[in-house]
Amino acid sequence: MSDSPVKDSADRPDIAPVGPKGPRAPVGPDPIPDVYFRKGFGLKAEVQEELASDYNGRLVDLLREREFTLTAGGVTVRLAREFGFCYGVERAVDYAYQTRRKFPDRRVFLAGEIIHNPHVNAKLREMGVEILIPAQIGGKIDYGVVRPDDVVILPAFGVTIEDFEKLREIGCVMVDTTCGSVLNVWKRVESYARDGYTALIHGKYYHEETRATASQTAKHGPGHYIVVRNMDEARAVCDFIEGKVSAEALMTQFGHTVSPGFDPDRDLKRIGVANQTTMLARESLAIGVEVGAAMIRAHGEEYANANFKTFDTICSATQERQDAVVELLTDPLDVMVVIGGFNSSNTLSLAALCSESVRTYHVEDAGAIDPVAGTIRHRPLGAKAEVDTPSWLPDEGPVRVGITAGASTPNNKIGDAVARIFATRRIGSQAIE
């Protein structure tokens, strides 16, 4: 691949197709200069050694070689068969490294965290990438510091249409690492809005991905959306559809998670269900079924068939990691350790799954496991703060520990956690290998 700019319109809805004579102008009145990149810079080989040094894990490779199981000194550690960095995350981090290499003398900004992993974001800061963080969760990013000769990396979660337009107006270079799975959801939501459906999105209204997805409803005019966090909130919407609660009551609950000018009486007549790609897959599917059933009860099957749509838009990597955890839990485990950022939605989904079957500890990184003190610092499901739990691993006797990690957790951090689990029982690396 050459270093010339490439506009990938098949993935980015704001960019027009690439024609036989090169990139065409974008859809809309104003052309985009050659400053939008989505396919890297042909520098993958040059950054691979650095990426491997920063993120590969020796113990993870050993676990793979030994059928994802290591046993020593009465301790057995079993790793879920799908874990850690997914393709979308690998691609985003790779492109960020390529960007720094491509523009060594320019200021490089990142529109929010590239992924929800503190170590990866800290490493990018060390490389001179400045991360623009909103003043509050769910708030807007201030691009006032960005100049036309700067470079801005768009994260794996994507950015809102409003953010994209601001950056286009500035005229800076944009390197778009938005995950392909996210783009697929955008296309679905955009089609809902184009056809007059309101997007009911299963997700966290403040999450970067959900906000970017919801913005796609405005692609063809004033489209509408409502965001539900879980089945309980979905059922509240169903109650309105079936006439059990008033529009005023619904807006009291959801006024902060709906599109501007949202009118339940008007905007919940036609509904298309989508989701944040990292939510609990089975809940997303169940929400689609529940809302569809409410539409049938309220208006009849013929009406629902014409005015209700639902599709499974959970990304394959999220599904694979959840399926792998379910498979791992079919064997008896004494404890489960889930590694990943506390603001990582897919990691929280994994922790929720594990908690249903076994004592589970969600840790942000391997450093949370203290082999000397015999403690583990973790955040219980639904809690706002971490707690330290002593004697989380028995001092003697056989014990089986399961481990998995969210899609934004690098292998070296998983390997460090495995080493610390064994060290808690005073088992060194030589005994493991």
360-391: pLDDT as tens digits: 999 999 999 999 999 999 999 989 999 999 99
Decide if 169 is catalytic. Answer: no
Residue % of the chain over a pLDDT of 70: 92
Q: Please write the tens of the pLDDT for every residue from 294-348.
A: 999 999 999 999 999 998 888 888 899 999 999 999 999 999 999 999 999 999 9
The per-residue pLDDT for 33 is 52
- Measured between its terminal Cα atoms, the distance across the chain in Å is 41
Local structure of residue 216 (DSSP, 8 states): G
Give the least confident one: 24-28, 88-92, 218-222: 24-28
3-state secondary structure the chain: CCCCCCCCCCCCCCCCCEECCEECCCCCCCCCCCCEECCCCCCHHHHHHHHHHHHCCHHHHHHHHCCCEEEECCEEEEECCCCCCCHHHHHHHHHHHHHHHHCCCCCEEEECCCCCCHHHHHHHHHCCEEEECCCCCCCCCCCCCCCCCCEEEECCCCCCHHHHHHHHHHCCEEEECCCHHHHHHHHHHHHHHHCCCEEEEECCCCCHHHHHHHHHHHCCCCCCEEEECCHHHHHHHHHHHCCCCCHHHHHHHHCCCECCCCCHHHHCCCEEEEECCCCCHHHHHHHHHHHHHHHHHHHCHHHHHHHEEECCCCCHHHHHHHHHHHHHCCCCCCEEEEECCCCCHHHHHHHHHHHCCCCEEEECCHHHEECCCCEEEECCCCCCCCEEEECCCCCCCCEEEEEEECCCCCHHHHHHHHHHHHHHCCCCHHHHC
Span 386-408, average pLDDT = 95
**Domains of the chain with CATH codes:** 18-39+88-178 (3.40.50.11270), 57-86+317-432 (3.40.1010.20), 181-314 (3.40.1010.20)
The per-residue pLDDT for 369 is 97
Span 42-54, average pLDDT = 91
Is residue 14's pLDDT more than 90?
no
Q: 216 near 193, Cβ under 8 Å?
A: yes
The per-residue pLDDT for 26 is 37
The per-residue pLDDT for 432 is 81
Question: Per the residue annotation, which of 113, 208, 209, 283 is the catalytic one?
Answer: 209
What band does 238 get if pLDDT is binned at 50, 70 and 90? very high
Please provide the average confidence, as pLDDT, over all residues in the chain.
90
The per-residue pLDDT for 138 is 85
Q: Please write the tens of the pLDDT for every residue from 274-294.
A: 999 999 889 999 999 999 999
The per-residue pLDDT for 387 is 97
Span 234-238, average pLDDT = 98
Is residue 11's pLDDT more than 50?
no
Span 110-132, average pLDDT = 95
Is residue 121's pLDDT more than 90?
yes
Is residue 170's pLDDT more than 90?
yes
pTM value is 0.85
The per-residue pLDDT for 109 is 98
What band does 17 get if pLDDT is binned at 50, 70 and 90? very low
Is residue 425's pLDDT more than 90?
yes
Is residue 408's pLDDT more than 70?
yes
